[in-house]
Amino acid sequence: MSLQQTLYPPHPYDQTKGSATVPLQIRQFIHSRYNKPRRTHPNAGAENVPPPRKHWKIFPKLPEAYLEQFSGPQRLVAQILHNRGLTTPEQVEQFLQYQWDQDDPFLLKDMDKAVERLIRAVDAAEPIIIYGDYDVDGVTSTAVLMQFLLSVGARVQPYIPHRFDEGYGLNNEALQYLFDQGARLILTVDCGIRAVAEVEFGNRLGLEFIITDHHSVGPEIPPALAVINPKQPDCPYPFKQLTGVGLAYKLTQALHATLSTRPGLADLLPAPETFLDLVALGTVADLGPLQFENRKLVAGGLQQMNQTLRPGLSALLETASGSRPAITSETIGFVLGPRLNAAGRLESAQAAYRLLMAWSEPQARPLAQKLDELNRERQRQTQEMVNLARQTIEQDEGRSPLYFISHPDFNAGVVGLAASRLVEEFYRPVLVAEQGPEFTKGSARSVAEFHITNALNQCRDLLVKYGGHSAAAGFTVRNEDVPRLVERLQEIAADTLDLDTLFPTIEIDAEISAAGLHLIDEAYMEALQSLEPFGVGNPQPIFLTRDLLVRQKQAVGQEGQHLKLVLDNGRRTWEAIGFRLGPRVTDLCFKQRLDLVYALEYNTWNGERRLQLNIKDFRICEE
């Protein structure tokens, strides 16, 4: 059997992992040291839990001497960008015009070694394995390099590990299998930076490794032929926040620049910009900060997607939305990304990868339908897990600085989503894990005040595997070590966090008076849209308007989880929607006045576009 035929044998777990009934006795560890009396958490006992109360941080209005350099809606834009560190008219113009040059890919440490080795493999027809990851960043990274290397005649195949059968990153069994099938060169994308033992194992077999990974660097760098990661201490690349697909794109740039010097090749090679749609998809889905080079890459990718959408994404968007709306970063974050991620969360990432590689919509449509079905199942499992975990957390009444919840029936592919929802609701670091026969595998999500990967690093003697960022991490621990791990994490969190002041902060870009709210028109909305794409590092602008009158109130959506208001500013009424704020409808009375924190946005329904306020928080005005 050939290498191509055997790289993807059917996995025994290529089926939705069921969890129809999860017992209420969720395993939770709360060390008795922290069970001293504390203020009851504001969410304790709630059945439909709103987010915790927030600190309001209002940026001061800029001096008129600065604002007079701008006119009309650009004054508001200047205020917003000044809040984000762009303090001169030149910096504002640079941001709005995407005037950042893309940095030379050869500034990345070891890029020259990687390019030389890959081109040598192409010329010698050596088999190359692109070893990816099962999330959107990993799948798009794999697709970018597969498409480029295939275009230059490389013998290249993908290998994306199965989440449940193999877990994240390199593993010895996969490396042995690939070696036995004839592979000698492994190119990792979105993984490998902490796989020291696995690379050493592969080296002993006779494998060579090129590692491209954007995750945090560990205490030891794997002994690979080349390691491309801008977070390495001695890497001179100026922008450190590229995602995995961003690094795949930089490698494509470097390969293109080198190969295009060969006679007759320049016009035959696909331009790296051809892959910007995949770069945008992976960067936004992986929560890459939309600043500097990432902002330019994502903006270029969104422009490309709105002009010519590759068949797989077109089929997925039509399946999810029933139409082809304009694509924004929000479309990626809430429509495309979750559906592509659902494949790797519940089965294998093959459906997502094949969708991105599809050459026609008829070929892609069944894959899109499958991803949409998997996403609905993912939503169901996530909600079930959150509901059950919430019961356990509420029993603690806000006393613990950190929560660890595990259960044998939890799905390791969904635990990260559940942890994120629980952090949003309770504003504590949360670890949610699937308890297996020998190992507990889970995901951690944290608050701004607590670097979760640094905390796990202090527990590395208890962990089989871990890695991540300040706000998110994955980990594997032996079952017998779980109590010690939780106790140590509790101690670290207790030493770091002040629970009496631990509430999320919402940053408010500007205060708009109730009388001034009616001045928001098309020109202002176009000015605000010039700040897109929005996402991590470039959030949607948030405003505060005081003393608005409540004309109507209603809990809407399934089980009343959303809040819908009609508000009066004295000149006109405004429709407002607050997602997951439905339980707070009981806080309000008709003709009551409130201070509202919100984002301005358009709501399109039945072809009609209307301006609405997206509620982030509110407070009742004092009499």
Q: Which band of pLDDT confidence, cut at 50, 70 and 90, is reported for residue 11?
A: very low
Average pLDDT in the 73-88 region?
Answer: 93
CB 594 within 8 A of CB 551: no
DSSP characters for 535-602?
A: BTTBPPP-EEEEEEEEEEEEEESGGG-EEEEEEE-SS-EEEEEETT-GGGGGG--TT-EEEEEEEEEE
Q: Which residue has the higher pLDDT, 137 or 42?
A: 137
State the pLDDT at residue 51: 55
State the pLDDT at residue 50: 52
Q: Is residue 620 pLDDT above 90, yes or no?
A: yes
Q: Which band of pLDDT confidence, cut at 50, 70 and 90, is reported for residue 56?
A: very high
Query: Which DSSP helix (H) or strand (E) runs through 304?
Result: helix 292-307
Helix (H, G, I), strand (E, B) or coil at 354: helix
Q: Which CATH number among 3.40.50.800, 3.20.20.60, 3.90.1640.30, 3.30.479.30 corresponds to the domain 102-270?
A: 3.90.1640.30
Q: Across-strand partners of 476?
A: 441, 465
Q: Which band of pLDDT confidence, cut at 50, 70 and 90, is reported for residue 506?
A: very high
On average, the pLDDT of the chain sits at 89
Residue 601 CB neighbour total at 10 angstroms:
16
Q: Which pTM value belongs to this model? A: 0.86
Q: Is residue 513 pLDDT above 80, yes or no?
A: yes
Q: Is residue 4 pLDDT above 70, yes or no?
A: no
The 10s digit of each residue's pLDDT in 275-314 is: 999 999 999 999 999 999 999 999 999 999 999 899 999 9
State the pLDDT at residue 609: 85
Sorted by sequence, the CB contacts under 8 Å of residue 215 that are 6+ apart come out as: 190, 191, 193, 194, 229, 231, 467, 468, 469
Cα-based distances in Å from 568 to 432, 509, 592, 594: 43, 22, 11, 10
Q: Is the dihedral of CA 329, 333, 334, 339 positive or negative?
A: positive
CB 388 within 8 A of CB 394: no
Say if 27-45+382-501 and 102-270 have the same CATH topology: no
Average pLDDT in the 371-398 region?
Answer: 92
Give me 618's structure tokens.
């509110």
State the pLDDT at residue 40: 36
Question: Strand ranges (DSSP E) for 312-429?
Answer: 403-407
Residue 397 CB neighbour total at 10 angstroms:
16
Q: Which band of pLDDT confidence, cut at 50, 70 and 90, is reported for residue 469?
A: confident
DSSP characters for 239-266?
A: -----HHHHHHHHHHHHHHHHTTSTTTT
Sorted by sequence, the CB contacts under 8 Å of residue 9 that are 6+ apart come out as: none
**What does the alpha-carbon distance between residue 513 and residue 506 come to, in Å, rounded to a whole number?**
19
Indicate the residue type of 545: T
Residue 54 CB neighbour total at 10 angstroms:
15
State the pLDDT at residue 259: 97
CB 200 within 8 A of CB 182: no
The 10s digit of each residue's pLDDT in 173-229 is: 999 999 999 999 999 999 999 999 999 999 999 999 999 999 989 889 999 999 999
Average pLDDT in the 513-528 region?
Answer: 92
Q: Which residue has the higher pLDDT, 138 or 13?
A: 138
Class of domain 55-96+506-620 as given by CATH: mainly beta
State the pLDDT at residue 45: 38
- List, in sequence order, the alpha helices (H) in 88-216: 89-96, 111-123, 136-151, 172-180, 196-205
Closest to 190 in 3D by CA, of 147, 251, 239: 251
Say which CATH topology domain 27-45+382-501 has: Diaminopimelate Epimerase; Chain A, domain 1 (3.10.310)
Cα-based distances in Å from 382 to 75, 315, 423, 432, 434: 43, 25, 14, 11, 13
CB 315 within 8 A of CB 365: yes
Length of the chain measured in residues: 623
Q: Is residue 22 pLDDT above 50, yes or no?
A: no
Phi, then psi, of 101 in degrees rounded to 5 = -75, 140
Helix (H, G, I), strand (E, B) or coil at 401: coil
Give me 503's structure tokens.
């509430």
Average pLDDT in the 544-554 region?
Answer: 96
CA 159 to chain centre: 22
Sorted by sequence, the CB contacts under 8 Å of residue 352 that are 6+ apart come out as: 136, 139, 340, 341, 343, 344, 371
Sorted by sequence, the CB contacts under 8 Å of residue 14 that are 6+ apart come out as: 162, 347, 348, 350
State the pLDDT at residue 518: 87
Closest to 143 in 3D by CA, of 315, 359, 328: 359
Q: Kindly state the DSSP code that residue 505 receives in the 8-state scheme.
A: E
Residue spans of the domains in the chain: they are: 27-45+382-501, 55-96+506-620, 102-270
CA 259 to chain centre: 33
The 10s digit of each residue's pLDDT in 321-366 is: 887 888 999 999 999 999 999 999 999 999 999 999 999 999 999 9
Average pLDDT in the 41-70 region?
Answer: 73
Q: Which band of pLDDT confidence, cut at 50, 70 and 90, is reported for residue 607?
A: confident
Q: Which band of pLDDT confidence, cut at 50, 70 and 90, is reported for residue 53?
A: confident
State the pLDDT at residue 49: 52
The per-residue b/e assignment along 412-435, b for 16 or more CB within 10 angstroms, e otherwise, is: bbbbbbbbbbbbbbbbbbbbbbbb
Lookup result for tokens 């779980």: 482
State the pLDDT at residue 15: 34
The proportion of the chain whose per-residue pLDDT surpasses 70, expressed as a percent, equals 91
Cα-based distances in Å from 48 to 383, 392, 394, 406: 12, 14, 12, 22
Give me 470's structure tokens.
């300040």
Sorted by sequence, the CB contacts under 8 Å of residue 583 that are 6+ apart come out as: 46, 48, 49, 50, 555, 560, 561
The proportion of the chain whose per-residue pLDDT surpasses 90, expressed as a percent, equals 75
